[in-house]
Amino acid sequence: MAAVFVEKSEENWNIFEQLRSSNFFDAAASRLYYSLFQAVKAFALKTGTMTEDDSLNVHVKAKDIVRQNCSSSIYHAFCDALEMRVRADYESRRVLASEFSQHFICQLDMLRRQFVKLAS
């Protein structure tokens, strides 16, 4: 089961990069967050901290898992990605290119790779 979410994480990361390079920043923000979320979920499924049936507060659980397993700066980058995804999907204010700094993306890619490795 965890392997499927690792695949989804990789897929969404690739889509995020394509959307960002095509200047579709709202869609990129959504795929970026879900790439991270799916990597964390793969880890959580493998370790039993989350089940396939968990649907209530899964994003809160994911934040807790990241907080417990990552540095403060990586945790805050994850929270920023979540906020960016919520804004992209539900608010009229657009996500801007400047919000995807190289440092921000590197932090999140490090997080994603860490959880993918732990889930594999």
pLDDT of residue 91: 96
pLDDT of residue 2: 92
d(CA 56, CA 107): 27
3-state secondary structure 16-43: HHHHHHCCCHHHHHHHHHHHHHHHHHHH
**2-119, CATH topology level:** Four Helix Bundle (Hemerythrin (Met), subunit A) (1.20.120)
pLDDT of residue 101: 95
* Percent of residues in the chain assigned helix, strand, coil, to nearest 5: 80, 0, 20
pLDDT of residue 86: 96
Residue-range domain boundaries for the chain: 2-119
pTM of the model as a whole: 0.94
Give yes or no for a contact between 39 and 47, defined as CB atoms under 8 angstroms apart.
Answer: no
Sequential pLDDT tens for the chain (120 residues)? 899 999 999 999 999 999 999 999 999 999 999 999 999 999 999 999 988 777 668 889 999 999 999 999 999 999 999 999 999 999 999 999 999 999 999 999 999 999 999 998
Q: Give, for 6, the enclosing helix (H) or strand (E).
A: helix 2-21
